[in-house]
Structure 1
Amino acid sequence: MPWLVKSEPEEREPGVKVSFSVDDFEAIGVTPWDGVRNPEACKSMRERMKIGDLVLFYHSNCKVPGTVICIALCVVKEGYPDHTAWDPKSKYYDPKSSQESPKWYMVDIKFVRRLPHFVPLAFLQHIGASSALSVSAIPAFMTAEQQQGIAAMQLLNRQRLSVQFVEPLVYETIVRLGDDGHGWDSISSASK
């Protein structure tokens, strides 16, 4: 199953390191996806994400939020307790979680590659809002099913969810947009 995970590439608060960019991910190679404190996202990591699942990496809370900067091979390690919840010094500390009774889970994700073209959130919103398939509205290769799949994405409808399932056809479509760079430049230029 394909997934989308979100991370903030820039610091929100001085002195509080919560940012994690694609550059950080590429430098590390494999990372635990820790610190997720949304019950639905945690349940997905604990129960649904499996070794070999593919992942889209999304930069949020930045000047140009966007999917997809890289493709990561998720999961290299399936759901296991998030130890950051037990550390009182961690920004992700949760006194209601313990080693004996863990509340939060994480998976390990491996960086695979960057997509050559950035796919901005605004482009996906544009595709999702397009009522008719036309060359001027969305990329020519895209079918009605692909457009409807993007319109139904949790990313567009449940923006605060940090770990999201992505339909396989939508995953393939976004990867194609990122690999080939279809359309965004001409659409954004035409709207100016």
Structure 2
Amino acid sequence: MRKRISYISMMLCLQYVPLHAQLHVSPGSVFHVQANTPFSVDSLIFIPQLPISFEGQQITRSASTLQTVGGIQSIERVYLFTPAVNFKGIIGMYYSDADLNGNSEANLNVAYSNNGTLNVLTGSTRVLSANKITRKITAATDIEKLSAISQPVTCTKAPPTPGGITQAPAMKPCPG
């Protein structure tokens, strides 16, 4: 009876704890992924061009954001690689509409951070119906954090009104 109550209590507690799946490869253990083999963990997508090994590696997903120098924020889905992973191949993620954080889904691009520098990989492949974004990385690259961010919008000033007063900038999406 006591075991049954403990089990029920544990199950009730679990439903209130937000869990984020992650990959943790203990030090001394190695997880290998062969070249051109699709591998996914917690909606993160890897298709390495070369064999890749994870040793003492942890990949964690959070609802935080990455931010550009101009203050543009990424979607609310960031993967943290501890330590950084050196990767060449296709990388991306599945995301939910709730993750968009004001980003335009049609203009999303894969973005990664390395040593505090945010790199936006324009030309990412988007499958809007599946909420999926990927990008091929052609040179081996260290990745500490991975997310997605929409291309910045272009601001244009409205013509001056009579009296020389300039109106506030009008925001227009980038063409194409």
As a proportion of its length, which structure holds more helix? 1
TM over 0.5: no
Q: Which has the higher contact order (CA 8 A, sep 6+)?
A: 1
The structure having more radius of gyration, on CA atoms, is: 2
Q: Structure 1-normalised TM-score?
A: 0.22
